[in-house]
Structure 1
Amino acid sequence: MKLDRFWMVQIVIILTLFTLLIGSYLFSFGLFADKQPTTITATVAPTPVVPTTTPEASLTTAPTGAPTKPTEPAATCTPAGITLSSDTIRDSLSSNDAARQASCLAFLQAESLAGDKGAEVWLGQAHHHGWGVAKNLQEAAKHYRQAANSDDSDVRDSAQQWLQQLEQETQR
């Protein structure tokens, strides 16, 4: 009888381990995760408008049906619904669509001002290749050097490689 109890305990242990193994396998492939694709959308806050009033203007009221200026879409490097990635940033910067380039450059400049060193690399590439801006190798080098001071080793290495390539191009 003791032998039967031993084997029952062994079977329970094996089934428990098997269940944990299958569960972790399914979880690692996202079968329990939310099926909605995640998109990264970063926006740049619009510049606040400070109303100026004159004594005459404060006495009158604006007409109720006055047309208003349409708000501009937030600056971004990706079309709506597309995930932000290196490929989408490169596609936006190198596209022939000036509005798309300008929006991406505005997004990258805002991210750069917020301290994103990866955006510095992209701004350097924009100036290096003339994507949306006039080709300016000195400005590109400046952005690459700023990104080379990053704490992120991937960004630092990328910036150093681009800076080295830029220096080789200028020596020719």
Structure 2
Amino acid sequence: MGSVFGKESVEEPPHDTLLSRSDATTSYELRKYGQRYAATITYKKTGDKSENSPFGALAKYIGVFGTPQNEGDTSIAMTAPVVMENSNKPTQIAMTAPVVMENNKDDDSDSNKKMMFMLPVEYDSMDKIPKPTNPSVHIEEIPSQTGVVHVYNGKWGEARNTELAKVWHNN
């Protein structure tokens, strides 16, 4: 499961709303997004909240902390959403009897994570996007996607996402 967060008052990627449900116990929208671009960084969860964090590195790329860390020193507007995802791929296991799998949710420090800052709509091709000067920051093309969006206020994180997903699933 991934999470997406951001302020409602900043630019979001253009999308078509295919369905909007505000009369359900948990309101949601079904949205179709077109192709877009994101500044990304892949990291291992360490609990480090310093400006060396993935958020800090991406914020420096767009110029939040002063001079932007990209070729041309181009300031880029902050947009929503910021996307965080677990980038681990499932592991195929040969069928045996029994099959035992264990997942310690409290210690996923070996898991690769990815954080993405969606770029403003004017950056609609790779040749328009300033190149990062930090080798950890990459630019990725995000293909067109359809997704369910639930907007809520307050704290975000894996535990909160799981809690909301359970509520949403049970409705």
Compute the TM-score of the two structures, normalised by the length of structure 2: 0.19
Q: By percentage of residues, which structure has more helix?
A: 1
Q: By percentage of residues, which structure has more strand?
A: 2
